[in-house]
Amino acid sequence: MNKREFLKTTSFAAGALTVPALNSPLRAQGNGPPYEIVMGGYAPSTTGFSAALRQIGAHLESKFGNDVQIRYVYNIMDLGYQGSDIMWLVENGLLTLGYQSSSYMTNRVEELMIADLPFLFSTGEQARSAMDGELGRLLSESLEAKMNYRILGYFENGFRHISNRLRPIHSIDDLEDLHIRVLPSQILFDTFKLLGANPEIMDLSEAIRRIGNDLIDGQENPLANTVTYGIHNHHMHHTITNHAYLSRPIFLHKQTHDSWPQELKEEMQLAITHAVAFQRNLHDQEEEEAAEIITSTGGEIITLTEDQIQPFRDRIESLYDQARVRHSAELLSAAGI
């Protein structure tokens, strides 16, 4: 039985959740609530992403009471799915709402490649402002035009750093031939190729397995993700590079969302807007806590200076030349290029 068949015939989350039919409004039968909303992710229930989902649910329940039924699938990887599966689960209406790093969608939405450019943002405030402003608006339009979603906001994945099992990274030379996992993004793959590493694209679930068996040397992620998925137990060397800032679009199954009454649509948007701010604040805390966990378990964290980072910036400049050819003037301007 394949995964899609499994989803249609089994419970999908705690509480014996039955997956609704494809491409139909999530309306409960009989005396049940008229709107069932199934929110999913690919992170443990203890993370800020899962807490943000709960906040969305709590807002809707406080507003509509028994007129909504909220269910959660915090981590689809616990059920044997890959992290990337969250996209088709929502596109086909098996989940109402999900999130995923935008890099996973670049093969279908070319405009998202601009968000993967290395060193695009200097500060978190700059990045958040862009994603909440014109850049986020343009990327949402492209996503909705090319995928079966409504985009209602962007969680923060945050700035990414390098961890590995072999050696401290102080310079580009230390990356030479380092076998490193990257997200399914041509930009991130090309970034590490230009930096001299040996990148390999793979899904998170596969990366976790291979890192745990010492089959790859390194990976790049925010510190919080590195700790969440237990990678710090295998990698002792962590280098703060801030080489990329990624967001996680919050997407809803288009037909389900569009079938809702206006009040439910508006309250969902309000709930997500509040949850984004909540998650971003938690992300800052999680990064600090992750750093403490890494050092307390024997890991080393190296923070590169601006002078040390500059050779990295110089090496990847050709990616910006390509972006100026690939993307519209409007999108380049929104990204500050």
Does the pLDDT at position 23 exceed 70? no
pLDDT at 5: 39
Give the pLDDT band of residue 34 (cuts 50, 70, 90). Answer: confident
Give the pLDDT band of residue 29 (cuts 50, 70, 90). Answer: very low
Does the pLDDT at position 12 exceed 60? no
Does the pLDDT at position 40 exceed 60? yes
Global pTM value: 0.88
Number of H-type helices and E-type strands within the chain: 13, 11
Does the pLDDT at position 16 exceed 60? no
Structure tokens at 63: 């507003």
Instruction: Give the mean pLDDT of 30-46.
Output: 85
Same domain, 102 and 230: no
- CB count in 10 Å sphere of residue 28: 13
Q: Could you read off the pLDDT of 243-298 as tens digits, one per residue?
A: 999 999 999 999 999 999 999 999 999 999 999 999 999 999 999 999 999 999 99
Sheet with 97-99: list strands edge to edge. Answer: 68-73, 35-40, 97-99, 245-253, 149-159
Radius of gyration of the chain (CA): 20
Segments forming the whole domain that contains residue 142: 3-156+247-287
Question: Which helix (H) or strand (E) is 275 found in, with range?
Answer: helix 262-296
Indicate the angle between helix axes 262-296 and 48-64, nearest 10 degrees: 150
- CB count in 10 Å sphere of residue 122: 11
- CB count in 10 Å sphere of residue 87: 20
Same domain, 264 and 211: no
Instruction: Give the mean pLDDT of 59-78.
Output: 96
Does the pLDDT at position 308 exceed 90? yes
Structure tokens at 307: 């002078």
Give the pLDDT band of residue 33 (cuts 50, 70, 90). Answer: low
Question: What one-character DSSP code corresponds to residue 311?
Answer: H
CATH label of the domain that carries residue 324: 3.40.190.170
Instruction: Give the mean pLDDT of 135-145.
Output: 98
Same domain, 200 and 238: yes
Same domain, 226 and 327: yes
Q: Could you read off the pLDDT of 214-228 as tens digits, one per residue?
A: 999 999 999 999 999
Same domain, 134 and 177: no
pLDDT at 32: 57
Q: How many domains does the chain have?
A: 2
Same domain, 190 and 73: no
Same domain, 201 and 257: no
Between 211 and 15, the more confident residue is 211
Does the pLDDT at position 10 exceed 60? no
Same domain, 231 and 255: no
Separation CA 143–CA 90 (nearest Å)? 13
Instruction: Give the mean pLDDT of 133-162.
Output: 98
Does the pLDDT at position 161 exceed 70? yes
Give the pLDDT band of residue 15 (cuts 50, 70, 90). Answer: very low
Instruction: Give the mean pLDDT of 51-56.
Output: 98
Place of tokens 């014109």: 134
Same domain, 208 and 81: no
Give the angle subtended at the CA of 41 by the CAs of 129 and 143, to the nearest 5°.
50
Q: How far apart are the first and last CA of the chain?
A: 48
Does the pLDDT at position 113 exceed 50? yes
Same domain, 282 and 300: no
Give the mean pLDDT of the chain: 91
List CB contacts of 128: < 8 A, sequence separation 6 or more: 156, 280
Q: Tell me if 283 sits within 8 A of 48, measured CB to CB.
A: yes
The percentage of the chain sitting over the pLDDT mark of 90, rounded to a whole number, equals 89
Same domain, 39 and 14: yes
Does the pLDDT at position 328 exceed 50? yes
Got the DSSP string for 207-270? Answer: HHHHHHTT-S-EEEE-HHHHHHTTGGGT--EEEE----EEEEEEEEEHHHHHHS-HHHHHHHHH
Same domain, 127 and 54: yes
- The beta strand positions in the chain, using DSSP E, are 35-40, 68-73, 97-99, 149-159, 161-164, 179-182, 198-201, 218-221, 237-240, 245-253, 300-303
